[in-house]
Structure 1
Amino acid sequence: MHAELLMIGSELISGAKLDTNGQWLCDRLAAQGIPVRFSTLLGDTLDDNVAAFALAISRSDLVVTSGGLGPTQDDLTRDALAKAAGVGLVQDDRALAMIEALFARRDREMPDRNRIQALIPEGSSILPNPIGTAPGIWMKTGIAHVACLPGVPRELKAMFDEELVPRLRAVGLGGRVIVNRVINLFGLGESEVEAQAPDLTARGRVPEVGITASDATISFRIRAEGVDEADALAAMQPTIDAIYERFGDLIVGEGTDDVAEAVIALLHDRNKTIAVAESCTGGLIAHRLTRIPGVGPVFPGGIVSYANEAKTDLLDVPADLIDSVGAVSAEVAEAMAVGVRRRFGTDVGLSVTGVAGPTGGSPDKPIGLVHLGLSLDDHTTHRRLSLGSEQPRPVIQSRSAKHALNFARLGLLGKTP
């Protein structure tokens, strides 16, 4: 059993508007035990819509559409569904009464054009819209049940929960529960992670496991079915255990949690504080920390010491050290970490200095060279990164910030490389 989505509107395929309804529907259908197998974005062209409907009702158990139910000439969903099903359109008196009542409540005269919204394909019924003028459509045709919903997110969501879900259950669609879990890793590339987990990501495996990458964070996405949530969670638990056993130190969190959240959690857990000294990242590390609620007790502040003079004046990095080894060096990174820790009186000092480009590189210190410093307990250490001279400045800055936070995370775990 699976569903198919048809997301209709020229504004979606032109890039003028983002399809947020599709993401929401995938999540809500999964909660009903109905996975989405296909999703198509369509413009307001009748022939394309008819073809998409014809294909969808021939291969999917449930087809859910969004958009195209308004009163204007480019609202073609009702016409396309009727043509694909080989039937005509008829007026639904109940739908017309609802539309007229809505205009009356708003003390407005109903334009004659809105009568078209009461037309539905023969053999279908309406899905009442309690907050808008566009009734939905519910129809069985081909092998599929079809649910046409309006494109306005607020209306779509209300109608899905109040009108569609009961109909799905009445016709026996769904019934099982699909549970998704995301485990996030940092420190290896996507291909390196997959090379260590071919058994977990094999096609056809149950439960299903996929790998995605975003800003160098690698995520395992686990999907399991069950008769209820507990059954689905039990089905995925051995897979979760295998991931934690295989990738323990690389795991930074679950769901939306990433490296910064892991650092903050560790600082709270260990009752420690951190301060940061940033050069090439220009305050990005501090930004990622301070966007997390509850960071105040563990992060008193940081210093953006971009110029060499700032490193000397604000962090007490010796000027002769910078002159001898350069600002982008292991020695200066360590001195910055010690200096910011002393300045704020924290348990941890974290620093970053590097060449973010697109200019400023040299044969000895190319664009993408970054040094991290970490002062923790009674020792100070550093790490050298080569992030690639071909990378644009924002990518180098973002990766540097995330690697620095991960350096602090490993240090707090007692596993600094």
Structure 2
Amino acid sequence: MKAEIIAVGTELLLGQIVNTNAQFLSQELAALGIDVYYQTVVGDNPGRIQSAIETARSRADLLVFTGGLGPTQDDLTKDVLAAYLNRGMSIHGPSMEQIEKLFSSRGIHMVESNKRQAHTIDGAEPLFNEAGLAVGNGLSVDGTHYLLLPGPPREMKPMMEGAGRQWIRQALGESQPLYSRVLRFAGIGESNLEAKLLDLIDGQSDPTLAPYAKEGEVAIRVSTKAATEQEAVRKIDATVQAVKDRVGEHLYAQEDIPLEEAVVRLLRATRRTMVSAESCSGGLFAELVTNVPGSSGEFAGGVVTYTNVMKHQLLGIPMTQLEGEGAPGAISESTAALMAERIRELADSDFGISLTGVAGPAESEGKPVGLVYFAIAERGKPTDVHTTHLSGSRSIIRVRAVKAALYRLWQALSHSEA
């Protein structure tokens, strides 16, 4: 069963609002076992709406509309579809009563156009709006199914979750739902990951694998249709094991969480803490970690020592290390190590993490843009220093550097937990 989502509204095309409805509906339809192959956005124009209907009807069994059910003259979805299907429209009594009651309770005169929200296409099943006034419509004509939902998410979502979902099941019958699991990877690029899994991706039938990149990370969605959740888990587990056999050292989570959350969880599980000292990343490491709810138990805090003076005054790094003829400089392996060690000692934490380098736009200390050193100082162990050569804009280099440091920390925590 194939579906197409048609979002109606010129405001969507102008970028005045974001089309969050399509994301929600795609997830809902997938849970019902219905594949969404296309998403269309069309303005409030009768000719273009009709063209969108004709195109969608040629390639989908179910057309799900959002928007265009309101009281104004540019709310045209029902009118255009009714005309396209050569159907009339009538008023849905309970919805009309709801509209009249609302205006009466507010002491406001109801204009004639407000009645438009109670219109249903002849032969359609009315879908009562519990959160607003515009009635939804569900109808099947010549093997094609049409579901009309209001545009405002606060109205659309409860209608879809209730009457809309029920209507789809009645009209289309029960389908096998789609089950998915997200695998999250770090320390490997999207193209490299895909190359290692290419035969699995090219030969996929069921389950399917869909890779997609996030800055500094990669994710793969493993999906299958199954009659029961138990059957789906069995099928997905077998595919996940095949992936782990190839790239298991980069797989940090089998759920859709960021790398920093996985690190915080491991710290919590092992009852350890960390602190950070940052230069080129400008506090981004601390920002990502503190975005994880409850991370205060694992992250004691951090400092941004952007200048040599701050590195010297806050961390006690000798100026002879940072400046002068023959000095390693602020951007060096030895300075990264000292930063991590000093901040760990100051906080009496289990881990100290540091980042220093050149994020751009120009070289510094004669060193190129993208060169970043980061260090992990663990209590009772030698400090681990890494050198990375990153590409991209200033902001991208900062993100990639922080994710690289988080990945090495995740590795250290994973090995110690094992």
Same fold (TM over 0.5): yes
Residue 295 (structure 1) aligns with: 295
> Match for 1:179: what amino acid?
Y
Question: Structure 1 residues 81, 204: CA separation in 2 closer, same or farther (over 3 Å shift)?
Answer: farther
Summarize deviations over 1:232-280 as a string: whole Å, max 9, x none. 2222121111122222221122333121112112212222221111001
Question: Structure 1 residues 90, 137: CA separation in 2 closer, same or farther (over 3 Å shift)?
Answer: same
Residue of structure 1 aligned with 2:351, choices 348, 353, 358: 348
Q: Quick check: 1:58–1:144 contact (8 Å CA) kept in 2?
A: no
Secondary structure (helix, strand or coil) at the match of 1:412 reads helix
Q: Quick check: 1:212–1:220 contact (8 Å CA) kept in 2?
A: yes
Residue 339 (structure 1) aligns with: 342
> Match for 2:390: what amino acid?
L
Q: Name the CA distance, whole Å, in 1 between partners of 2:73 and 2:308.
A: 64
Q: Name the CA distance, whole Å, in 2 between partners of 1:100 and 1:176.
A: 42
Report the TM-score when normalising by structure 1.
0.94
Residue 231 (structure 1) aligns with: 231
Secondary structure (helix, strand or coil) at the match of 1:5 reads strand
Q: Quick check: 1:279–1:306 contact (8 Å CA) kept in 2?
A: yes
> Match for 2:55: what amino acid?
L
Q: CA RMSD in A?
A: 1.8
C-alpha deviation, 1:380, in angstroms: 1.0
Q: Work out whether 1:75 is the aligned partner of 2:75.
A: yes
Larger mean CA deviation between 112-121 and 223-232 belongs to: 112-121
C-alpha deviation, 1:204, in angstroms: 5.4
Residue 103 (structure 1) aligns with: 103
Q: Name the CA distance, whole Å, in 1 between partners of 2:407 and 2:189.
A: 14
C-alpha deviation, 1:216, in angstroms: 2.2
C-alpha deviation, 1:105, in angstroms: 4.2
Q: Quick check: 1:58–1:142 contact (8 Å CA) kept in 2?
A: no
Residue 384 (structure 1) aligns with: 387
Q: Quick check: 2:6–2:64 contact (8 Å CA) kept in 1?
A: yes
Larger mean CA deviation between 220-229 and 291-300 belongs to: 291-300
Report the TM-score when normalising by structure 2.
0.93
Q: Quick check: 1:184–1:218 contact (8 Å CA) kept in 2?
A: yes
Question: Structure 1 residues 203, 68: CA separation in 2 closer, same or farther (over 3 Å shift)?
Answer: farther
Question: Structure 1 residues 196, 97: CA separation in 2 closer, same or farther (over 3 Å shift)?
Answer: same
> How many residue pairs were aligned?
412
Residue 396 (structure 1) aligns with: 397
C-alpha deviation, 1:95, in angstroms: 4.0
Residue 370 (structure 2) aligns with: 368
Q: Name the CA distance, whole Å, in 2 between partners of 1:174 and 1:38.
A: 21
Summarize deviations over 1:289-316 as a string: whole Å, max 9, x none. 1121222222211111111011112112
C-alpha deviation, 1:110, in angstroms: 1.6
> Match for 1:196: what amino acid?
K
Q: Work out whether 1:262 is the aligned partner of 2:262.
A: yes
Residue 410 (structure 2) aligns with: 409
Q: Name the CA distance, whole Å, in 2 between partners of 1:245 and 1:310.
A: 46
Residue 208 (structure 2) aligns with: 208
User: Percent of aligned pairs with the same residue?
Assistant: 35
Q: Name the CA distance, whole Å, in 2 between partners of 1:157 and 1:228.
A: 25
> Match for 1:245: what amino acid?
D
4+ long deviations beyond 6 Å: none
Larger mean CA deviation between 286-295 and 106-115 belongs to: 106-115
Secondary structure (helix, strand or coil) at the match of 1:302 reads strand
Q: Any stretches of 5+ residues in structure 2 without a counterpart?
A: none
Summarize deviations over 1:316-347 as a string: whole Å, max 9, x none. 22211112111111111011111111111111
Q: Any stretches of 5+ residues in structure 1 without a counterpart?
A: none
Q: Name the CA distance, whole Å, in 2 between partners of 1:76 and 1:347.
A: 63
Q: Name the CA distance, whole Å, in 1 between partners of 2:89 and 2:58.
A: 21
Q: Name the CA distance, whole Å, in 1 between partners of 2:90 and 2:302.
A: 68
Question: Structure 1 residues 413, 90: CA separation in 2 closer, same or farther (over 3 Å shift)?
Answer: closer
Q: Name the CA distance, whole Å, in 2 between partners of 1:231 and 1:395.
A: 41
C-alpha deviation, 1:98, in angstroms: 3.7
Q: Name the CA distance, whole Å, in 1 between partners of 2:118 and 2:313.
A: 74
Q: Name the CA distance, whole Å, in 1 between partners of 2:254 and 2:109.
A: 52
Q: Name the CA distance, whole Å, in 2 between partners of 1:164 and 1:349.
A: 53
Q: Name the CA distance, whole Å, in 2 between partners of 1:267 and 1:7.
A: 44
C-alpha deviation, 1:122, in angstroms: 2.9
> Match for 2:330: what amino acid?
A
Q: Quick check: 2:177–2:227 contact (8 Å CA) kept in 1?
A: yes
Residue 7 (structure 1) aligns with: 7
Secondary structure (helix, strand or coil) at the match of 1:11 reads helix
